[in-house]
Structure 1
Amino acid sequence: MKRFILLVVVNALLSSVSFGQYAHFPESGVIHFEKRVHLKNFMKRKMALSKSDNFDRSYMDQLMSKAPESYVYKSILSFNGSESRYDPVKEEQTAIMRNLEWYGFDYAGSYYQHIDKGLFKNKMNYNGGDILLEDSLLNIKWKVTNEYRDIAGYNCRRANGVLLDSIFVVAFYTDAIPLSSGPIGTNGLPGMILGLAVPEQHYNIYATKVEMGQPQITSEFAKKRDKPMRRADFQAFMRDRLRVGDWYTEAEFNYMMVNMLL
């Protein structure tokens, strides 16, 4: 009987040790994400806002007749301490996708965030050239709800957010990864964001795997002589370059800016 009680106590102690290991809150690692863009919905919205002439619309219609309903981009978020970096995974594109990407549903962006310093950096590709941004962290107004979802093996809580004044987003975060960061430029919740939906832009981003490790995080995207812009300066630059009111409608320009600034 004494031997039986001893075995029960030992098993209980081992279970508590195992649970403690499982409940360990990682402060560094790598998260694999998939971004699913609903192409045809995105393009329908863009065409409705556009000033494109009949030739452009005809060309877009031809492209969309051959395009898939949705397309998945892969990316990796590395985090360590108070820093995170989100980078695209380079994959070979089909001719149809290379043509469609010109319309701006993905800019192959890399994002760096230093949460403690409130610093945000971004490098994106636009028409074959790199654009560099450096500013404060994106300000998002969050409201946490009581809805939960399992994402990549983590219990995640839903939060509804508003950013860039009027853009509604839905996020699912886990406090088991304590860094207040997430994919692209998201931040501001009490844990890592593993799921994100941006209805207006017709895409969602979900984690597929979380790996523990000690990745080296770099904040550098380009040569030191390359000068980054702040968000407001970038918007003014693009407004002038795209000749908003002549080439682009105000609504089409704003639609484009959300995808570039988020």
Structure 2
Amino acid sequence: MLRSILFLLLMCSSVMLFAQKEGTIQYTIVNQLNFEAPEGMEEMFKNMPKERSSKRELLFTSEEGLFRNVEDKIGNESDEVSLEDEGIHIKMNFNEPEETLYTNLAEGKTIHQRDLFGKTFLVTGTPEKMNWKVGKGKKKIADYICMEATTMQDDTVQVVAWFTPQIPISMGPEGFGGLPGMILQVDIDGGNTKITASEVSLESPDAEGMVAPSKGKKVDHETFIKIREEKLKEMNAQGGGRGIRIIEHRG
């Protein structure tokens, strides 16, 4: 453990003098689809895809970050899945909601434009403080040397992050941060969700694109969670929320 800490300190000190502190990172998000087939429909659900992937990008400077959808992915027709067996037809839509997360490290604030069952909210808050433990693991992601760190969400969900001191900005995808370097990969809940950087550009991001979202009903994080819980209770009561599991990260 001591060797890992010394390696981290030496690496940070050697790269921070020359490292670029702005750019754009392309991420691929892969979600495992752990659907439970209703009784009697097991054969039909064998054709259900096992995972879905999407693209997002992080624009960043030394003080600001904007994590957003890649425009050409939203509304893609390939995100629709149809299942049919013995006269029963089920259609599922996996379109990515239009969400944008703005982080301002200098001011200690976040603004998250989120979609909730067809309604748009503007969720205000602060960057989440996470109790990271830096491990011994090291690997390369998108040509950057990364170090391993782990934490827990809600005391039950393990999060494994891989960050690089070569980009000395305490940010990452989906609001993850708090490490001495950019997070290039996040593994949530044993691989149920994995976010991985596929391309890193250290050219200055478009200044016009680095704008905090302003569309939606403005609420704080606690209010948003309360609204969502009430909506899920309504769906469960109507039989439409069965099997829905949401792992909340406060971005």
When the two structures are superposed, what TM-score results if normalisation uses the length of structure 1? 0.73
- From the superposition, tell whether residues 140 and 61 of structure 1 become closer, same or farther in structure 2 (CA, over 3 Å): farther
Deviates more, 1:62-71 or 1:23-32: 62-71
How far did 1:260 drift?
6.8
Structure 1: which amino acid aligns with 2:173?
Answer: P
Q: 2:213 is matched with which residue?
A: 221
The structure with the larger Rg is: 1
**In 2, Cα distance between equivalents of 1:155 and 1:67:** 36
Over aligned residue pairs, what C-alpha RMSD do you find? 3.2
The change in CA–CA distance for 1:34 and 1:120 in structure 2 (over 3 A counts) is same
- Summarize deviations over 1:153-207 as a string: whole Å, max 9, x none: 0000000012344431000000111110000110100010001000267110110
Shift of 1:58: 6.2
The answer on 1:88 being equivalent to 2:66 is: no
SS at match of 1:176: coil
Structure whose residues are more often strand by fraction: 2
Structure 2 gap segments, 5+ residues each: 1-13, 83-90
Please, which runs of 5 or more residues in structure 1 have no aligned partner?
Answer: 1-19, 48-56
Q: Secondary structure at the match of 2:175?
A: coil
For residue 10 of structure 2, what is the aligned residue in structure 1? none
Which of 105, 123, 141 is 2:131 aligned to? 141
3-state SS, counterpart of residue 57 of structure 2 = strand
Cα drift, residue 239 of structure 1: 2.1
Q: Does 1:232 align with 2:222?
A: yes
Q: 1:30: which partner in 2? A: 24
Instruction: Identify the residue that residue 77 of structure 1 maps to in structure 2.
Output: 58
Between stretches 85-94 and 106-115, larger displacement belongs to: 106-115
Structure 1 pair 65–132 and aligned structure 2 pair: CA distance change class (3 A): farther
Structure 1 residue identity aligned to 2:92: N
Cα distance change on mapping 1:128 and 1:24 into 2, 3 Å:
same
Q: Is the Cα contact below 8 Å between 1:242 and 1:248 reproduced in 2? A: no
* Alignment partners' CA distance in 1, 2:102 and 2:239: 30
Pairing of 1:109-128 with structure 2 (within 5 A): 109-128=99-118
Q: Relative to 1, partners in 2 of residues 1:260 and 1:176: Cα closer, same or farther, differing over 3 Å?
A: closer
Count, aligned residues:
222
- The answer to whether the 8 A contact 2:232-2:241 is kept is no
Higher helix fraction (1 or 2) = 1
Deviation at 1:69, TM superposition (A): 2.0
The CA distance in 1 between the partners of 2:156 and 2:221, in whole Å, is: 16
Deviation at 1:259, TM superposition (A): 4.6
Identity %: 22
Deviation at 1:107, TM superposition (A): 4.2
- One-letter code aligned to 1:73: S
Displacement after TM superposition at 1:71 (Å): 2.0
Q: CA offsets per residue over residues 137-164 of structure 1, 9 Å max, x none?
A: 1221100001101000000000001234
Q: Which residue of structure 2 lines up, in the alignment, with residue 197 of structure 1? A: 187
Residue type matched to 1:29 in 2? G
Output the TM-score relative to the length of structure 2. Answer: 0.76
| Matched-pair contact (CA < 8 Å) for 1:181–1:189 | yes
Q: Which stretch of the first structure deviates more once superposed, 111-120 or 179-188?
A: 111-120
> How big is each residue's C-alpha offset from its partner over 1:82-114, in whole Å with a ceiling of 9 and x where there is no partner?
111111113213221882438xxx644321111
Match of 1:147, as an amino acid? Answer: G
Say whether the 8 Å CA contact 2:153–2:249 is kept in structure 1.
no
Q: Is the 8 A contact 2:60 2:66 kept in 1?
A: yes
> Contact 1:63–1:100 (CA<8 Å) still a contact in 2?
no
Residues 38 and 134 of structure 1, relative CA distance in 2, 3 Å threshold: same
Secondary structure of the equivalent of 2:194? strand
Cα deviation 1:24-83 (Å, max 9, x = unaligned):
3111101111111122x3x24xx7xxxxxxxxx369867743332222211111101211
Q: 1:214 to 1:63 in 2, by over 3 A?
A: farther
